[in-house]
Amino acid sequence: MDIYAKIAAIFDEDSLDDSTVLFTLPQWNSINFFALLTLLKEEYGRELPIKEVIECATLGDLLSLCTKES
């Protein structure tokens, strides 16, 4: 399962792409937010700074943050 499918499963969506605006997802809540952070930590092997995560408007922004050199 690719990262998009895993994230879609958290938010009970059929599919997501880079242009998906995270905060408009119907299932966006604090529990799913932390599930997303946990998934990203498992997938990318690092914790993301919350401030930077909150500044991400789209899924593409968030995934770019995950792969950005620290």
Domain locations in the chain as residue ranges: 3-67
User: Which DSSP letter does residue 21 get?
Assistant: B
Q: What is the mean pLDDT of the chain?
A: 95
* Cα–Cα dist 19/43, whole Å: 20
Tokens at 68, concatenated: 């950005």
Q: What predicted TM-score, i.e. pTM, was given to this entire model?
A: 0.90
The pLDDT of residue 70: 64
> What is the per-residue pLDDT across 22-37, written as a single tens digit (0 to 9) for each?
999 999 999 999 999 9
> Beta partners for 48?
none
Write the pLDDT tens digit of every residue in 41-70. Answer: 999 999 999 999 999 999 999 999 999 876
Q: What DSSP assignment string belongs to 23-65?
A: GG-TT-SHHHHHHHHHHHHHHHSSPPPHHHHHH--BHHHHHHH
pLDDT score at 69:
76
Task: Provide CATH code, domain 3-67.
Answer: 1.10.1200.10
